Amino acid sequence: MSTFAVRLFGDPVLRQRAAEVEELDGDLARLASTMIDTMYEAIGLGLAAPQVGVLKRMYVYDLGEGPQVLINPEIVESSGAWTYDEGCLSLPGMQFEIVRPKLVTVQGIDLDANEVVFEGDELMGRLIQHEIDHLDGTLLIERLDPDRRKEALREWRRAQLEGPPSMGPSSGAPAVVGGSDRSRHL
């Protein structure tokens, strides 16, 4: 199994807008497969291509129904509001309570070029919005109000000084912030 290193907050690639995927070829399928392995190794629910340094509009996820890939995703409708303690593999060990629309409809294509449209409620809706944010170069820390963002940056810097965050089951290091739950990392 080959995996990528997950890019962490501070890496400039995470702030760039990813480009539309124009060709569905073997390279893209291999990329998706390595991203899926990387996501499982990091114990995340989802992973967007920029998080492994690839500026393509694609993400992978698994909310319990096996691995899925969505290419060129776009939210076409959203409604409601839902609060969730959101985490990110690029900010391991941190979680922030963030309000976003509860229900979204996303449109995209799969690896076989089939058009897919589906509704995502609650956690699925949150994952869709979080991963598309990654494709637009936005991290969840930027979704916080200025005071909470400052506090989060302080916590992150402190955690970095204290040592590398836990990067998966092979590492025995504790999570950097109390109460963190890797199963909430998107």
List, by residue number, the catalytic residues.
Answer: 131
Q: Contact residues for Zn ion (CB under 5 A)?
A: 88, 186
How far are the Cα atoms of 32, 92, 147 from residue 11, in angstroms, in the given order? 21, 14, 22
Shortest spacing between CB 180 and Zn ion, in angstroms: 14
* Residues 35 and 83 sit within 8 Å (Cβ to Cβ): no
Shortest spacing between CB 90 and Zn ion, in angstroms: 5
Question: What is the phi/psi pair of residue 148, to 5°?
Answer: -65, -35
**Minimum CB distance to Zn ion smaller for 31 or for 133:** 133
**Minimum CB distance to Zn ion smaller for 24 or for 149:** 149
Q: How far apart are CA 130 and CA 136, in angstroms?
A: 10
Shortest spacing between CB 48 and Zn ion, in angstroms: 7
Q: How far apart are CA 133 and CA 55, in angstroms?
A: 13
